[in-house]
């Protein structure tokens, strides 16, 4: 049985209808199209629709067999690839206030943003997602006041905002780099592609170094380092100087991985 920390219902809604029809029927699930929007319904009269947790194993198998699943250290990763991971992370709520636009209120796109940062900082590896998909909230009693990523997150926040605006949270959407304002130029002037890559590289490295060494200054993680595993879709890849790239991904699920 999986000990889940995080499971994206939005990604599951997009991926489950892609399961083979025979498997869907065996699981008691039927997929259909309604006005161009993917919908799903249970076919068993006396039972409710299978939960995302119950369908997760089948979705993971589909990803690994049909779409292919890599490890995040593969040197030829590209945006849109599915990866699997198992390593040590810190995780916590993102500091989004410094990055809100003037027209964004309490229900802004970045509301509930969470980061998972690998404690092995070279090359950096960060997952970003939404707190609405967190199944096991941070255990620390004072963790609700803790935030990470107060500074230098401009490019990462641009990816997170773009992700939040995708109904399927990038499960199937073709990925393109976001437009990000350059904080060091006049208002509205966007980063170039190289500036976006450099800014993201710094943001990923900053978070992973913070995860490696623990709370320092403004940044405070919700937990101590913990081993986690799961599958995620790659949002961006930063070419590595020694082969393995820096990676920003968004998780389908994250579960606790126990090591002796």
223, pLDDT greater than 50? yes
Among 75-79, 104-108, 226-230, the minimum mean pLDDT is found in: 104-108
What is the sign, positive or negative, of the torsion defined by CA atoms of 42, 19, 23, 3? Answer: negative
Contact 225, 88 (CB under 8 A): yes
In the chain, % of residues over pLDDT 90: 48
Backbone angles phi, psi at 103, to 5 degrees: -95, 5
Burial of 88 (0-12, 13-18, 19+ CB in 10 A): middle
Q: What is the pLDDT of residue 22?
A: 60
> What token pair was written down for 170?
């990038």
- Omega within 30 of 0 (cis) for the link into 123: yes
pTM of the model: 0.85
Contact 29, 43 (CB under 8 A): yes
Q: What is the pLDDT of residue 199?
A: 93
Cα–Cα distance list, 95 to 30, 68, 98, 150, 217 (Å): 40, 34, 7, 5, 13
* CA 71 – CA 48 distance, rounded (Å): 35
Burial of 40 (0-12, 13-18, 19+ CB in 10 A): middle
CA 140 remoteness from chain centre: 22
More confident residue, 185 or 59: 59
What is the sign, positive or negative, of the torsion defined by CA atoms of 147, 153, 154, 156? Answer: negative
DSSP state of 171: S
Cα–Cα distance list, 5 to 2, 31, 150 (Å): 9, 27, 24
| Domain extents in the chain | 4-67, 69-256
> What token pair was written down for 212?
């490696």
More confident residue, 40 or 68: 68
242, pLDDT greater than 50? yes
As a whole number of Å, the CA-based R_g of the chain is: 19
Model confidence at 142, pLDDT cuts 50, 70, 90, reads: low
Strand partners, 89: 118, 226
């Amino acid at each position: 049985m999986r000990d889940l920390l995080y499971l994206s219902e939005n990604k599951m809604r997009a991926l489950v209808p892609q399961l083979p029809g025979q498997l869907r029927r065996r699981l008691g699930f039927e997929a259909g199209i309604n006005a161009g929007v993917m919908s799903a319904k249970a076919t068993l009269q006396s039972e409710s629709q299978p939960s995302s947790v119950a369908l997760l194993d089948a979705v993971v198998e589909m990803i690994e067999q049909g779409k292919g699943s890599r490890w995040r250290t593969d040197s030829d990763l590209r945006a849109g690839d599915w990866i699997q991971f198992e390593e040590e992370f810190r995780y916590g709520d993102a500091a989004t206030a410094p990055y809100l636009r003037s027209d964004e209120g309490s229900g802004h796109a970045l509301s509930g943003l969470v980061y998972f940062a690998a404690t092995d900082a070279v090359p950096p590896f960060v997952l970003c997602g939404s707190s609405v998909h967190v199944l096991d909230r941070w255990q620390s009693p004072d963790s609700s006041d803790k935030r990470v990523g107060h500074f230098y997150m401009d490019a990462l926040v641009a990816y997170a905002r773009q992700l939040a605006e995708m109904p399927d949270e990038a499960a199937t959407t073709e990925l393109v780099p976001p437009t990000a304002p350059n904080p060091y130029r006049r208002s509205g002037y966007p980063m170039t592609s190289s500036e976006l890559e450099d800014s993201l590289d710094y943001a990923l490295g900053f978070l992973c170094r913070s995860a490696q060494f623990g709370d320092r200054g403004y940044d405070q993680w919700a937990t101590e380092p913990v081993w986690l595993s799961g599958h995620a879709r790659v949002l961006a890849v930063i070419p590595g100087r020694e082969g393995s790239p820096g990676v920003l991904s968004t998780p389908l699920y994250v579960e606790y991985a126990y090591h002796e």
